[in-house]
Structure 1
């Protein structure tokens, strides 16, 4: 049974394979300003080295990652089954910047391409809600691109209430105290 947990070196091999899957679908290019895209650009070819991967895991486990580009502390959890990396979800401790309030939201997630359409994103989002509640967030803003039907369904399945559309993003609020896990 897959579960959310802090990042770990136990998934090193499958994590690298997952990143190659993302790269094969075009992620990590110069125009990909997502957390995953920036990470692929910064670490991409260096993760093979166990010391580099261990350093990366330690960085992601710190509550400040990736505070610099987003301006707020972030907790990242990896979704895995044993040594099989399936995806990640990041919970931003606040939406203190205009970008996060308008477009980014509190939570972002990625499921590796070969693990999609199996309910993992929904399980990850539902599983992250109690963590957000533990940070004192009564509700979280979760956004997706207007054309991302899969992500829209994930957000709605986790209890997302549609607020509006801004700049190509659908914006939903999810109460953390009524999370259906």
Structure 2
């Protein structure tokens, strides 16, 4: 059973959704009262992509997003402010509460290691991250964990690269990964 198939705690959960504009395109944010739950690239306020993201979360959480006001909306407001500060170059470390309920096991351990020990403006190789979590043969599994990260940007899977210096993969697209790494000063800005 994959992390995305793993059942969440019993009963419907109260959560909220918003979409924000960023230099890497619109991001969808979902939050519970426990913290930021999900960051979705290529989100839209309306349309098929937004509906698909919200529908997937509705199925996983057993309820539709809550209308304001709620503690979820307070988390969304803080997440929006911190992401805007990050994208404007004024924030290097997020201080948001995070709801880790959409991931577990190896993936969660790997994402925690990444969040706690790979700071802004640094990179780590898939293999090195596997070694750090005590699974030296699991470089590919680290790639799977990065691909299933429910909190990209905040949990910085864009900082994980290949041992040979290649960028590796990135679900939202390599252009977004390059832009995030350039923002953090790891890569030069693209010429065009």
TM-score by length of 2: 0.26
Higher percent of residues as strand: 1
Higher percent of residues as helix: 1
Q: Which has the larger Rg?
A: 2
